[in-house]
Amino acid sequence: MGMTDELAARDKQAIDEHFHKIGLPREPALTFKDAAIKPRYNEIRIRSEIWDFSTTLIGDVAINIPLISANMTSVTDAKFAAALEREGGFGCFPQAVLSCVQDQMIDDTRRNNAARIDDPLKITPYATIAEAKKLMETKQVWSLIVVDADKRPIGILSSRDWRYETDLTQKVSALMTTNIIKCRDTDSVEAVKVIMRRNKIEKIPIVDEAGKLVGLYTAHGLFYKMHHTRALRDEHGRFPVMGTVGVGERLNTELMEQVNRLAKKGIQFLLIDAAKGGSDNLKEVVLWVKKELPNLPIMAGNVCTPEETKLLIEWGVDTIKVGQGPGYVCRTREIGIGIPQLTAVAECSAIANLYDKLVVADGGMDTPGDFMKAIIAGATACMAGKFFMSTYEAAAPLEPPDDDGLPFKLYKGSASFDAQMERIQDGSLDHPRRPEGRTRKVIVTGSLKDKIYDLLEAFKSGMSYVGARNWEEMREIAVMRWQTPAGSFEGLKR
């Protein structure tokens, strides 16, 4: 689709006005270290006045901190997605895995600490305790619903029932708790909470009109936000989930089936990922998804220019992923392609704002200030890889300490040789291409919770200098200024 001269002029004017508002020049293109945030007089007395870090990610999906994880195998798996969403961010699953593996990630994340489990693990009363323990160990749970031949719950086998039992040949029926309280599928969450408080119980099987098991409520999940106040939870008290697909050479039946399967799983949005976002490959997939699943929000990219952003919006993309080459393990800039990330985010955001769409800044952010500059430039959230790789929870296995005695993880770019060889081994790639990514060591420095806490404290500090109590105010009043490399160096603590 082309643009008329009138629309092109309006687009250019919107970009010029946006750059003037945030205090940056249109030329040359800048990245985060090229800009400084200007402090301003304000009425915020102490940083603790700032506590709201929420933002809209896509459609009606809101997140409580402006961070989402890179859809990379080294970064995000089910455990990491749950850990990040516990802190208020969103975990994006990798597309460079077999579709069945991503399906399992979705199921595991949704089940993790869920208030409502729609397909709870169950067992018959005639199974042995050994069989029950094996199932629980495999699924990493500590209790099972016992059902009869008609799938009606007749008991619960919990850890307190079997923990001290030495005769594992006994039947489940001999040890299970039979005095169970059930609720109907039509009962509200608040009504279930009342039942749990009144009876001091931790699990309530959910039954349909025929008395058959259809789900399970857990006290841990229902009261989860008492202990994790920023945790993302859907209406059933579960971690929300998304799906990711690549584009391949062209749209095919396998990809169509994968998208339909992801939609049936109830994903909150679909990420359609392509290194070259402004392409017929991406256009073909986006247009098909919008036609077949018009109510499914789409995030897509990557792009780095306002022209490409406009095209994605015309195709039907809701949130545009911006960034070509700024990532720690990306080599795209080696072939001369890519716009410095701060300018790219600002230009693409100006167009997205004009058409009521959103932008995610993908890559290039090292410090808390970098994240804040991306948000001031117009990003609604930031996608990070390296930032998360230094945590114990990142998906990559922890490697033995190196010569320096420090534990580390291997951060593999999605287009790196190592990542391609893994895909060849699992059958999702036929042969290696020229690597546009690399593998690097990242020293592990601590837990995700501690890293997020430190980042939010830094956000409070930066926002207090500007006088913004939330990201909307930050985007409205914050101004940056172009600085020389010497100016950037001056601020580094050497």
Per-residue pLDDT band at 347 (split at 50, 70, 90): very high
Q: Centre a 10 Å sphere on the Cβ of residue 132 and count the other Cβ atoms it contains.
A: 25
Tell me the per-residue pLDDT of 432-481, one tens digit each, with 9 for 90 and over: 777 677 888 999 999 999 999 999 999 999 999 999 999 999 999 999 99
Report angle CA 72, 277, 476 to the nearest 5 degrees.
Answer: 85
Q: At a CB cut-off of 8 Å and minimum separation 6, what does 355 contact?
A: 310, 313
Q: Where are the domains of the chain?
A: 5-112+239-490, 116-225
Report angle CA 267, 268, 270 to the nearest 5 degrees.
Answer: 75
**Nearest-angstrom CA–CA distance, 470 and 494:** 32
- Name the residue among 395, 441, 396, 435 with its Cα closest to residue 416: 435
**Nearest-angstrom CA–CA distance, 240 and 249:** 30
Task: Give the residue-averaged pLDDT of 390-404.
Answer: 90
Torsional sign, CA 135, 139, 144, 145: negative
**Percentage of residues in the chain with pLDDT exceeding 70?**
96
Q: Which residues of 150-167 are buried (b: 16+ CB within 10 A; e: fewer)?
A: eeebbbbbbeebbeeeee
* DSSP H/E element including 216: strand 213-218
Evaluate if residue 3 carries a pLDDT over 60: no
Residue 123 in 3-state DSSP? strand
The pLDDT assigned to 2 comes to: 47
- Name the residue among 190, 216, 185, 213 with its Cα closest to residue 203: 216
What distance lies between CA 327 and its chain's CA centroid? 17
For every residue of 229-263, DSSP letters joined together read TT----TTS-----EEE---SS--HHHHHHHHHHH
**Nearest-angstrom CA–CA distance, 161 and 142:** 10
What distance lies between CA 5 and its chain's CA centroid? 38
The pLDDT assigned to 235 comes to: 84
* Assigned superfamily of 5-112+239-490: Aldolase class I (3.20.20.70)
Q: Calculate the average pLDDT of the chain.
A: 92
Among 59-63, 93-97, 417-421, the range scoring the smallest mean pLDDT is 417-421
The pLDDT assigned to 417 comes to: 64
The CA-atom distances, in angstroms, between 286 and each of 275, 277, 301, 365 are 15, 11, 11, 28
For every residue of 24-79, DSSP letters joined together read --SSS---GGGEEEPP------SGGG-----EEEETTEEESSSEEE-S-TTT--HH
**Nearest-angstrom CA–CA distance, 484 and 489:** 9
Q: What is the largest CA-CA distance in the chain?
A: 81
Q: Does domain 116-225 have CATH number 3.10.580.10?
A: yes
Evaluate if residue 4 carries a pLDDT over 70: no
Tell me the per-residue pLDDT of 199-211, one tens digit each, with 9 for 90 and over: 998 899 999 999 9
Quote the pTM value. Answer: 0.89
**Nearest-angstrom CA–CA distance, 141 and 119:** 13
pLDDT, greater one: 141 or 370: 370
Evaluate if residue 7 carries a pLDDT over 90: no
The pLDDT assigned to 248 comes to: 82
116-225 matches 5-112+239-490 in CATH topology: no
